[in-house]
Amino acid sequence: GAVVSQHPSRVICKSGTSVKIECRSLDFQATTMFWYRQFPKQSLMLMATSNEGSKATYEQGVEKDKFLINHASLTLSTLTVTSAHPEDSSFYICSARGRVDTGELFFGEGSRLTVL
Amino acid sequence: SQKIEQNSEALNIQEGKTATLTCNYTNYSPAYLQWYRQDPGRGPVFLLLIRENEKEKRKERLKVTFDTTLKQSLFHITASQPADSATYLCALSDSGTYKYIFGTGTRLKVLA
């Protein structure tokens, strides 16, 4: 299956700093990528849809100025958590569409963010 | 609002038995339904996808059914093994959007 790589897998930062998480599709071109957030023992919550070359579409309640998403190429999307606070600590996961019209979605390994 | 419920938060079964997990949804007419496996601290891994016009899908020891009248999907793992222990998530999407809504998951534990 298609491979999606996410980096870093773990990051610890101080409150007030910004953190960038990268999501790469390694063996296919992903016109659309999705960013999710997952709290312990809870399900994945869709944060935004990232389309290559255009602005991301954010879900209701997600601050776009807080979570900056850039999809500069067909294989890379980045999520930047700006001015991070302890409540932003979470597991962030990206995914990408597979082949056209299959409905399949492939996920990265996730990034654990801890804000001190 | 759209709602997805997975039958139980946790399910324990004996090795060799068939595990059956349930995914029910309301206020939604999905075109695609997927099942994922998620291990602690890892991203979800795709298992099976079934479309609204399909009743059943199989892959090795896995079987998924999709009943759009009952608004329910059943996920079966036959001849279960301890290595099958994980959280299993169902996810639904409209046609074309790929915006999947996820259930809360069922933690399956297969006892040796």
Distance CA B28, CA B95 (A): 12
Among candidate residues B10, B11, B48, B14, the one with its CA nearest the CA of residue B32? B48
**pLDDT of the residue at B82:** 97
Residues in chain B: 112
Tens digits of per-residue pLDDT, B38-60? 999 899 998 999 998 999 999 99
Mark which residues 56-85 of B lie under 8 Å from A by CB.
Answer: none
Q: Read off the DSSP letter of residue B82.
A: G
**pLDDT of the residue at B35:** 95
Cα-to-chain-centroid distance, residue A26 = 15
B58: tokens are 């199989």
Tens digits of per-residue pLDDT, B22-36? 999 988 888 889 999
Q: Which of A32, A45, A110 sits opposite B43 (nearest CB)?
A: A110
Tens digits of per-residue pLDDT, B55-94? 999 999 999 999 999 999 999 999 999 999 999 999 998 7
Distance CA A38, CA A19 (A): 17
* Percent of chain B whose pLDDT exceeds 90: 71
Distance from CA of B16 to the nearest CA of A (A): 27
Q: Does the beta-carbon distance from A104 to B42 stay under 8 Å?
A: no
Tens digits of per-residue pLDDT, A21-40? 999 999 888 888 999 999 88
Q: Does the beta-carbon distance from B46 to A42 stay under 8 Å?
A: no
Tens digits of per-residue pLDDT, A50-107? 988 888 999 999 999 999 999 888 899 999 999 999 999 999 999 998 656 667 788 9
Residues in B closer than 8 angstroms to A44, CB to CB, are 44, 89, 91, 102
Distance CA A102, CA B99 (A): 13
**pLDDT of the residue at A99:** 59
> Phi first, then psi: what are they for B99, rounded to 5°?
-85, 95
